[in-house]
Chain A
């Protein structure tokens, strides 16, 4: 698996899109820091950007990579390599290279700005960790979608729909149900509903850490009331981890049974 990972990773970090992605974060980091002049505020703005953008890029990159390397995957499948190693290697290659673009792209401007001397360093690293989680989750989901759909257009469509649903539609539905059922106790419902969407979960995770009550919203407040800041942090981290595991396991399951 490590060999496949190595080659997928090298193949990707040499592609133009990885550089574009990296440069985008680099530019974003510099602009935010020097316009805001305040690391904490920059972290919040960044959170709003990356929490939507990372899933989108992860989804699209994952689907594109899977379909583009399909013939090459067939070549690998005829080699004496275990099936799951091929797909796991490619998955970690894509997710790893995207995560690297994110960490380097945002890390460099923050380091130059003097992050190490500010006390926002934990907030900032949490942002990167959450970003990495989201990358791994959405690349995984997109791989699962791609492996289940032979038709490229369909696969691409489903992947984008999934992103649209989790990033935009979900919140709308969530809010609507909160309004419609406002007469009822909604604590458990909103806790569960948040845990079922990795994007919402990441947002709450970061806000809990930043401890900005004004931005927490209803669910965030419940989260804090329910678990307290520290426990809430741990619980949401654990659920994010489960979210990462889920697509990986179903990818392995699908890969074992698929015909090529």
Chain B
């Protein structure tokens, strides 16, 4: 088991975001974390990363309790939602810097080629467009070889060509036995990529299972409609 979450609670002020999440993530699958805006997707991811400190409950990543630990993050590659980098440094320097900070072997060359970032390497990050920044973000995430990959809205701002490359990249990582968590609002992307769906609603896991199971349960033929219908069907998973 890659991640085990037990009875996770988190409250921000008066807003109870997570209300007892229990979850186990197995190795070698692609999980899509879905749910309406404000359902706690990002909070859940950030709790796994140790950026949000839970009020109650426990999280283990790769058989290590993460409380007060930081070394386990060596085993996680994380793609944050909004990529905003220090404006005064060049792309090349940023890549170098993250490499330096993580201090582990990296394969940035192929990725830079894959996304056509060569002409941007000597540009400052403040001059890049949103899509190009996202490509840099992707390179920074995928250049390390970690068993767990977490992607928060990876498709933002990407052109069709880069999107295809990203999908290929995710599939390639999966064949290497890595576990991948993705949040996105693009259902087509989920349909193509995900093995399992985790549907969060009001701070609880409302549904966990494969796409076929979801279609059966909601009696829908179209995935997008099934997701929309999920909250109206009364069965809990």
A binding-site residues for B, Cβ under 8 Å: 3-4, 7, 10-11, 14-15, 69-72, 74-83, 257-260
Do A259 and B85 touch across chains, with their CB atoms under 8 A apart? no
Do A3 and B101 touch across chains, with their CB atoms under 8 A apart? yes
Residues of B within 8 A of A76 (CB): 101
Residues of A within 8 A of B53 (CB): 257-259
Interface size class of B (residues with CB under 8 A): 20 to 34
- B98 interface residue, CB < 8 Å from A? yes
Known: A15-B88, A260-B46. A78 touches B51 (CB 8 A): yes
Q: Which B39-79 residues have a C-beta within 8 angstroms of A?
A: 46, 49-53, 70-74, 76, 78
Known: A75-B80, A75-B85. A80 touches B74 (CB 8 A): yes
B binding-site residues for A, Cβ under 8 Å: 10, 12, 46, 49-53, 70-74, 76, 78, 80, 82-86, 88-89, 97-98, 100-102, 140
Residues of B within 8 A of A72 (CB): 84-86
Number of inter-chain CB pairs below 8 Å? 65
Q: How far is the CA of A79 from the CA of B150 in the complex (A)?
A: 12
Residues of A within 8 A of B74 (CB): 80
Q: How far is the CA of A4 from the CA of B97 in the complex (A)?
A: 9
Do A79 and B51 touch across chains, with their CB atoms under 8 A apart? no
Known: A11-B86, A69-B86. A259 touches B51 (CB 8 A): yes
Residues of B within 8 A of A78 (CB): 49, 51, 73, 76, 78, 80
Known: A78-B49, A80-B73. A11 touches B88 (CB 8 A): yes
23 A-B Cβ contacts within 8 A? Answer: A7-B86, A11-B89, A14-B89, A71-B82, A71-B83, A72-B85, A72-B86, A74-B51, A75-B80, A75-B83, A75-B85, A77-B51, A78-B51, A78-B73, A79-B73, A79-B102, A80-B73, A80-B102, A258-B53, A259-B10, A259-B46, A260-B51, A260-B52
B99 to chain A, nearest CB (A): 11
A232 to chain B, nearest CB (A): 43
A101 to chain B, nearest CB (A): 16
Q: How far is the CA of A40 from the CA of B84 in the complex (A)?
A: 48
B140 to chain A, nearest CB (A): 8
Given known contacts A4-B101, A259-B10, what 11 new A-B pairs fall within 8 Å (CB)? A11-B88, A69-B86, A71-B84, A71-B85, A75-B80, A78-B51, A78-B76, A81-B73, A259-B12, A260-B46, A260-B51
Q: How far is the CA of A4 from the CA of B86 in the complex (A)?
A: 12
- Our pick among B12, B52, B97, B140 for the contact of A7 (Cβ within 8 Å) is B97
A239 to chain B, nearest CB (A): 34
Residues of B within 8 A of A15 (CB): 88
Do A259 and B86 touch across chains, with their CB atoms under 8 A apart? no
Do A81 and B84 touch across chains, with their CB atoms under 8 A apart? no
A20 to chain B, nearest CB (A): 15
Do B88 and A14 touch across chains, with their CB atoms under 8 A apart? yes
Residues of A within 8 A of B89 (CB): 7, 10-11, 14
Residues of B within 8 A of A260 (CB): 46, 51-52
What residue of chain A has the Cβ atom nearest to residue B49's Cβ? A78
B189 to chain A, nearest CB (A): 22
Do B86 and A80 touch across chains, with their CB atoms under 8 A apart? no
Do B88 and A81 touch across chains, with their CB atoms under 8 A apart? no
The 5 A-B pairs of least Cβ separation, nearest first, read: A71-B84, A78-B78, A80-B73, A80-B74, A260-B51
Do B70 and A80 touch across chains, with their CB atoms under 8 A apart? yes
A148 to chain B, nearest CB (A): 14
Q: How far is the CA of A259 from the CA of B49 in the complex (A)?
A: 11
Q: How far is the CA of A11 from the CA of B85 in the complex (A)?
A: 11
B68 to chain A, nearest CB (A): 9
B209 to chain A, nearest CB (A): 28
B43 to chain A, nearest CB (A): 8
Q: How far is the CA of A229 from the CA of B205 in the complex (A)?
A: 69
Do A259 and B52 touch across chains, with their CB atoms under 8 A apart? yes
Q: How far is the CA of A14 from the CA of B52 in the complex (A)?
A: 32
Do A83 and B83 touch across chains, with their CB atoms under 8 A apart? no
Q: How far is the CA of A71 from the CA of B51 in the complex (A)?
A: 12
